[in-house]
Amino acid sequence: MLDKIKSNFNTQTWVLIPIAIAINIAVGQIVLLLKLPVFLDSIGTVLVAVLCGPWAGALTGALSNVIWGVAIDPGALPWWPVAFFIGYMAGRMAEWGFFKSWWKVVVTGFVIALTAAIVSTPIAVYLFGGITASGSSFITAYLLQTGQGIWQAVVSTSFLTEPVDKITTAMIAFAIILGLPKRTIGGYPKAANAEAEGADKNQLYIAIGVVVLLVLFAAFLLRNILGG
């Protein structure tokens, strides 16, 4: 086990982790301020997980929320277990070959979404009463008003928003990796996990298209919740 953990870390891993943490916090804080019904605070985590391995991804996720919570927003701190498992599962999916084409990345995003929903639901219910600072709480509040119980409302919100968020996150990470020079990618411990199947340019265009569609869906979802 220790050897597997060590295999995730080299000099390039330690250089990438703080960059990934900065991406997570910056994008996550912007999304939080805009009250969007997604999070997008795990893009850097997925990048590290794919290129370096599940343990490096898990560390990146956990550190992101700890640093974010201590330095900027205390509300981010309790979610570090969710971020940990997002990074770990992203890395495992990459090791199983699910980060080599756009449709496999969609599957990866969906699996990460299920993981995040399972881990985050007890935190949302017990620590926040179901209502957090994120834009997705608009949906939870609406469901509570319709008579749903807190557990049912939180679970319904998670299974509605998490797939959109995590598939978008995985696709953005995939697009970034496709845009990196091959020489740069080759220096990471798990570079083989990121070798795209088929033409890189075609995969990149499809990934961007999927991201645009998901963003539009999220905007439509928020508009209807707020307008309804």
Note the CATH number of domain 2-227: 1.10.1760.20
> Residue 2 corresponds to which tokens in the numbers above?
């220790």
* Termini Cα distance of the chain: 51
Q: How far apart are CA 132 and CA 7, in angstroms?
A: 37
What residue segments make up the domains of the chain, in order of their start?
2-227
- Give Cβ neighbours of residue 223 (< 8 Å, ≥ 6 apart): none
Q: Phi and psi of 93, rounded to 5°?
A: -60, -40
Q: Is 95 exposed, middle or buried (0-12, 13-18, 19+ CB in 10 A)?
A: middle
The answer to whether 94 and 49 have CB atoms below 8 angstroms apart is: yes
- C-alpha distances (whole Å) from 73 to each of 40, 67, 70, 146 are 16, 9, 7, 31
What is the reported pLDDT for 170? 94
pLDDT at 224: 64
Cβ burial 157-182 (10 Å sphere, 16+ → b, else e): bbebbbbbbbbbbbbbbbbbbbeeee
H helices of the chain, in order, are: 2-6, 11-34, 43-52, 54-71, 80-95, 102-128, 137-145, 150-179, 182-185, 200-227
Q: What angle separates helix 200-227 from helix 102-128, to the nearest 10 degrees? A: 30
Q: What is the pLDDT of residue 16?
A: 97
pLDDT in tens, the chain (228 residues): 899 999 999 999 999 999 999 999 999 999 888 877 788 999 999 999 999 999 999 999 999 999 999 999 998 999 999 999 999 999 999 999 999 988 899 999 999 999 999 999 899 888 887 777 676 666 777 677 877 888 888 887 788 888 889 999 999 999 899 888 888 899 999 999 988 776 566 776 777 777 777 777 766 766 665 555
Q: How far is the CA of 14 from the CAs of 10, 18, 179, 209, in angstroms?
A: 7, 7, 21, 32
Beta carbons of 44 and 20 less than 8 angstroms apart: yes
